[in-house]
Structure 1
Amino acid sequence: MTISKVNVDNAAKAVPPVPRLAEPAHIVTSDAEALVIARTLAETFVKESAQRDRERIWPVAELDAFSQSGLWSINVPKEFGGPEVSYATLAKVIEIISAADSSIGQIAQNHLGVVAAIRTVSDPDQQKLLFAEVLKGTRFGNAFSEFGSKRAADFETRFTDKGDHVIVNGQKFYSSGALLAHLVPIVALDDEGRAWYAIAERDAPGLTVIDDWSSFGQRTTLSGTVILDNVKVPKSHLVPGYKGYDKPTADGAIFQIIQVAVDTGIAQAAIDETVNFVRTKSRAWVDSGVDHAWEDPYTIQAVGDLTLRLHAAQALLEKAGYAIDRAVLNPNAETVAEAQIVTAEAKILSTEIAIAATNKLFELAGTRSTLAEHNLDRHWRNARTHTLHDPVRWKYAILGNYFLNGETPPLHAWS
């Protein structure tokens, strides 16, 4: 494989790292507490979410509150001092946060996925070391995807073994959360072409994060380009991620269910905005014969339809969470396939309702809902951007092959 030369031309635009917070994070004690914390945080996060999107203001204080709340360690196993909540609960937490601000919900996505991977593939000593960091409130960013590769699973970033450490070189994009992370897991290949997570300190020499994310949606996910120029990573922080996909494990489904939760959160936000706008600002149509927009029979039917489809997606999301729980506890071809399939079903419905609800918002709320002062288009932009992470047209193929031909889904982070 040809390795692209690392481009360091923009290194001068590097965003400085943030220090770890002095106080250790809270540790959640139960699934119920996790949901209470999520709802409390969401009440705060939603207040300035439109302004953060409009002006691309980084959610610095919000992110600190989120990670310090204990919600970033909710899938740390109990044997290491973590809450180990159900993945149905974890998904609901991300949905609640994403309904308030979907960018903040997405920032935690890869962190929680890496925590799950450490549980799957690391030895006990490495688990103890890295889970202790997570429980203290350390945030993982990510440096997974590459901009110029043929496929998402193709990597050019590599590391060289130097005894007690490795040296990583490459360049990454779509690095959600990396700007304000404390540690940056880097997907890099060894000499055998196997993918590892090389977890580098955010302030490691040679690791540069550039604030150049320019998407029209999910604008404050703290993403950008990551340049890796001879970055040193100790072997203690080199996680054999490939082991999560060389046999059936729940790792892929876990990465996917968090995607689903972000999208159901966006759909929930859009429906809530629709109801609020129709109840407080929209006018009745001239031919409706009613005095208020909320009495319009077509609007009533449309809101009922959207809500029904959201509830269907949420039900599958919860079902997927419990299927993942079973696959984590007893990973085998059958339990893992079940988790992948129901998560794929949820991914299809969540994508469709997120796009439908954010589009229907303007049809039902009316022309004045497009005014810049409301910034309601952020929901559509966020849905359209986030649902592109992996195409649902391939999810239909996975389902068809499974139910028709008995073919289990592929083992990778997009399935």
Structure 2
Amino acid sequence: MATIDETEALRAGTVAEAANGAHVIGSDAEALAVAHALAERLAQEAAQRDRERRLPHEEIEWFSQSGLWAITVPKAYGGAGATYQTLVEVVKIVAAADPSLGQLPQNHFGLVDVIALTGTDEQKRHFFGEILAGKRFGNGFSEKGTKNVLDLKTRVTRDRNGDDGHYVVNGTKFYSTGALFAHYVPVLGLDEDRKGWLAYIPKGTPGLTVIDDWSGFGQRTTASGTVVLDNVRVPASHVFPAHRVSDEPTLNGPLSQIIQAAIDAGIAHAALADTLRFVRERSRPWIDSNVERASEDPLTVREVGRLHIDLHAADALLERAARTLDEIAAQRVTTEDDVARASVAVGEAKVLTTEIALLASEKLFELAGTQATLEEHNLDRHWRNARTHTLHDPVRWKYHLVGNYYLNGVKPARHPWN
């Protein structure tokens, strides 16, 4: 934990960074180095933030000012144009330090991709410039009380009462991760033809209200609460045809999913690291084991071996999926077959990252013992975070997706959950 003097120095550094603009990362290698350094900083009070539900206003400034939120901006527009492999590793590193902070840019990166895929050159220059300067996107995607996640009540329509240069947005969103900390809140809504559009709404726009009412038992500091849109007027330059990223073969869906898998992998790494630390330093061996230390208990050793094998398998499939996306992205044209192959590769990885995140965070208590359940350690945050984040979409459907592809040649549906 930082001392008072160190904390003040960190705050002073953050203010200076904000005043001078965000750092611009120039390469994949630099992105990884920055992620490791930032993760050490973010991990210092992660458990306390979770325990107190202390929202990471300062920490998210460190994060975006580091330049990591801009690493996928294309090189042609001044960014690093980082590979999928680098993006996945960066997210995993940060999520292992603090999975709430690891989740906050999850939708941001998908929204950067929407701009790259559907924006005009003028829109790209404007928004990529904003991102490179340290601006953050939240999200207003999902809604409560509807038939399914694609049954949206929110509307994004042309302003018929004013000039033709604006849209009007009305609706209510929930699970709006990052919106409370965002400079822009991109909101997904349907037009008169039920086509999806994304309106990137600047913070402070009249009619836009962000409510901190997230009460989930995990990912507690993501502020994934409510966004209300009451006749919000948005210039046409801030509205993008979101339907195109699914109507046409793109990697936007696999991108969204692989980031989720990277967060779960990060949670698993953190849970296993805390398991090893606790077993080595605090746990007692079982009386029938006839050993001096818990770390020598043969049944504990066996379980630790199993967890590492499962984690390494998940990491390997995650890396393989990212490499698949990079190979497809390097092609001049992305086909339907390419997107299907990418979705299946990511689906396979997501199955294993989900399962190891849940298993490692549960096994922690079995192997570390009763003392590990004491509130002072707050080790239950790993399971709470894993259980909450892995509910973004049902992993049981990933088994079906993979099996249906290999057995029946059925391509996965194109949407943000595949």
Give the TM-score of the pair, scaled to structure 1.
0.94
**Residue in 2 aligned with 1:15?**
none
- Counterpart of 2:115 (choices 118, 139, 143) is 118
Shift of 1:366: 0.2
Q: Is the partner of 1:160 in helix, strand or coil?
A: strand
- Deviations 1:373-402 (CA, angstroms, capped at 9, x unpaired): 000000000000000001011001100110
**Residue in 1 aligned with 2:11?**
none
Q: Is the partner of 2:339 in helix, strand or coil?
A: helix
Alpha-carbon distance between aligned partners in 2 of 1:221 and 1:315, rounded to the nearest angstrom: 28
Alpha-carbon distance between aligned partners in 1 of 2:259 and 2:141, rounded to the nearest angstrom: 16
Verify the 8 A CA contact 2:184 2:201 in the aligned structure 1: yes
**Residue in 1 aligned with 2:204?**
203
Verify the 8 A CA contact 1:109 1:259 in the aligned structure 2: yes
Alpha-carbon distance between aligned partners in 2 of 1:275 and 1:334, rounded to the nearest angstrom: 43
- Deviations 1:48-79 (CA, angstroms, capped at 9, x unpaired): 11110011001111100100111001111111
Task: Determine whether 1:349 maps to 2:346.
Answer: no
- Counterpart of 2:54 (choices 50, 57, 60) is 57
Q: How does 1:309-348 map to 2 (within 5 A)?
A: 309-330=310-331, 331-348=334-351
Q: Is the partner of 2:376 in helix, strand or coil?
A: coil
Verify the 8 A CA contact 1:323 1:335 in the aligned structure 2: no
CA RMSD of aligned residues (A): 1.0
Shift of 1:84: 0.8
Task: Determine whether 1:188 maps to 2:185.
Answer: no
- Deviations 1:355-377 (CA, angstroms, capped at 9, x unpaired): 00000000000000000000000
Q: Which moved more, 1:188-197 or 1:371-380?
A: 188-197
**Residue in 1 aligned with 2:238?**
237
Shift of 1:92: 0.6
Task: Determine whether 1:149 maps to 2:146.
Answer: yes
**Residue in 1 aligned with 2:72?**
75
Shift of 1:326: 2.7
Shift of 1:267: 0.2
Shift of 1:21: 4.1
**Residue in 1 aligned with 2:6?**
none
Alpha-carbon distance between aligned partners in 1 of 2:202 and 2:406, rounded to the nearest angstrom: 44
Alpha-carbon distance between aligned partners in 1 of 2:88 and 2:226, rounded to the nearest angstrom: 28
Task: Determine whether 1:366 maps to 2:369.
Answer: yes
- Deviations 1:145-172 (CA, angstroms, capped at 9, x unpaired): 0011110111110022121011100000
Q: How does 1:86-235 map to 2 (within 5 A)?
A: 86-162=83-159, 163-235=164-236
- Deviations 1:123-153 (CA, angstroms, capped at 9, x unpaired): 2221111111111110000000001111011
- Counterpart of 1:31 (choices 3, 28, 46) is 28
Shift of 1:327: 2.9
- Counterpart of 1:375 (choices 371, 374, 378) is 378
- Deviations 1:217-271 (CA, angstroms, capped at 9, x unpaired): 0000122100000111111010111100002110000000000000000000000
Give the letter for the 1:126 counterpart: Q
- Deviations 1:9-32 (CA, angstroms, capped at 9, x unpaired): xxxxxxxxxxx9443211111111
Give the letter for the 1:332 counterpart: T
Q: Is the partner of 2:206 in helix, strand or coil?
A: coil
Give the letter for the 1:189 counterpart: L
- Counterpart of 1:412 (choices 403, 410, 415) is 415
Alpha-carbon distance between aligned partners in 2 of 1:400 and 1:239, rounded to the nearest angstrom: 34
Verify the 8 A CA contact 2:156 2:197 in the aligned structure 1: no
Alpha-carbon distance between aligned partners in 1 of 2:245 and 2:172, rounded to the nearest angstrom: 23
Alpha-carbon distance between aligned partners in 1 of 2:20 and 2:399, rounded to the nearest angstrom: 46
Alpha-carbon distance between aligned partners in 1 of 2:241 and 2:123, rounded to the nearest angstrom: 11
- Counterpart of 2:399 (choices 393, 396, 400) is 396
Unaligned runs of at least 5 residues, structure 2? 1-16
Verify the 8 A CA contact 2:209 2:227 in the aligned structure 1: yes
Matched pairs, number: 396
Alpha-carbon distance between aligned partners in 2 of 1:282 and 1:121, rounded to the nearest angstrom: 54
Alpha-carbon distance between aligned partners in 1 of 2:143 and 2:187, rounded to the nearest angstrom: 11
Higher RCO (C-alpha under 8 Å, 6+ residues apart) = 1
Q: Is the partner of 1:287 in helix, strand or coil?
A: helix
Verify the 8 A CA contact 2:213 2:223 in the aligned structure 1: no
Percent of counterpart pairs with the same letter?
A: 55
Verify the 8 A CA contact 2:108 2:138 in the aligned structure 1: yes
Shift of 1:121: 1.6
Verify the 8 A CA contact 1:249 1:327 in the aligned structure 2: no
**Residue in 2 aligned with 1:16?**
none
Q: Is the partner of 2:172 in helix, strand or coil?
A: strand
Verify the 8 A CA contact 2:271 2:364 in the aligned structure 1: yes
Verify the 8 A CA contact 1:326 1:335 in the aligned structure 2: no
Alpha-carbon distance between aligned partners in 1 of 2:98 and 2:391, rounded to the nearest angstrom: 18
Q: Is the partner of 2:96 in helix, strand or coil?
A: helix
Unaligned runs of at least 5 residues, structure 1? 1-19
Alpha-carbon distance between aligned partners in 2 of 1:391 and 1:103, rounded to the nearest angstrom: 20
Alpha-carbon distance between aligned partners in 2 of 1:115 and 1:327, rounded to the nearest angstrom: 18
Q: How does 1:283-302 map to 2 (within 5 A)?
A: 283-302=284-303
